[in-house]
Amino acid sequence: MSGLFVQASEVTSMNAIEIKDLSYSYESGLPALKEINLSIKQGELVALVGQNGAGKTTMVKHLIGLIKANKDKISIFGQDVFGQRVSELAKRVGFVFQNPDHQIFHDTVEKEVAFGLINMGLPKAEISERVEKALHSVGLESQAGDYPQSLSRGQRQRVALASVLAMQTEIIILDEPTTGQDYHERLQIMELVNKLNQEGHTVVFITHDMALVANYAERVIVLCQGRIILDGPVREVLSQQAKLAQTLLEPPQITMLGSRLAPSSEVILTVDEMYTYLQKVQEGD
């Protein structure tokens, strides 16, 4: 990995992403984003949640230049994205689309993953090394020569992820990364997301799955009808059940069960935490 990355999920004081007073309406529609203000520090692992149509994809499209932001609205590592080309932004911000077929165009998996690297003008040996490493990370090394459209949706999603990994961008954004994956693949992808963050990447993942949020994110940003209505550490946000209900999102089952069993205790996020809580109760703590 590049020496730019900080080690072991260290969150620095540097803003990786900064959005200032961003509003946006599509030509044909109502406002999709309203007065968004947020900053994400280098090294953070953030979940972005909200019901369908809340504005999550519109927000991240601004970060990768697919929707052009006005001047002084968005900066990436202190640099205004205004006027930056998509290809320039792609070197710092990697984006894995929700639908892998929106980003897969080549006739072999290997060529697909190499594409961005060839555009960057990297030497052949480095391209081969990065492609191999990225395919290994997503468990697709034996599919390198396959036609992507012959793979399952879950595998195609991992091809798209490998293409972004190979670029070694400082920021990685994933839109619903576990869609179409079975249980083991979901675990594998989220462990990989975690590892990337540990290696120093700033990671933002969009999801509807609050169990993923509870298990993997440090911070969660909740969008509702184009506005940020909650933003903070996962435990704090999941304790705001009434506000979350506005978004039709529910805390994970284990958290709901925990709030019934132990209404006054801390918010329970995972099965392990529930187990610890029950053990304490049994011991009469």
Pairwise CA distance, residues 165 & 172, whole Å = 8
What is the closest distance, in whole angstroms, from the C-beta atom of residue 30 to ligand ATP in the complex? 6
Angle at 38 between CA 32 and CA 44, to 5 degrees: 120
Q: Which two tokens stand for residue 35?
A: 């007065």
Measured CA distances, 66 to 46, 81, 93, 184, 235 (Å): 21, 11, 12, 32, 33
For ligand ATP, the closer CB: 54 or 114: 54
Strand blocks (E) in the chain: 15-25, 31-41, 45-49, 74-76, 79-80, 93-96, 171-175, 202-206, 219-224, 227-233
Pairwise CA distance, residues 240 & 244, whole Å = 6
For ligand ATP, the closer CB: 28 or 264: 28
For ligand ATP, the closer CB: 13 or 52: 52
Interface residues toward ligand ATP, by CB under 6 A: 26, 28-29, 32, 50, 52-58
For ligand ATP, the closer CB: 26 or 147: 26
Q: Which two tokens stand for residue 76?
A: 């990436």
What is the closest distance, in whole angstroms, from the C-beta atom of residue 189 to ligand ATP in the complex? 18
What is the closest distance, in whole angstroms, from the C-beta atom of residue 16 to ligand ATP in the complex? 21
For ligand ATP, the closer CB: 49 or 238: 49
What is the closest distance, in whole angstroms, from the C-beta atom of residue 123 to ligand ATP in the complex? 38
What is the closest distance, in whole angstroms, from the C-beta atom of residue 71 to ligand ATP in the complex? 22
Pairwise CA distance, residues 262 & 281, whole Å = 10
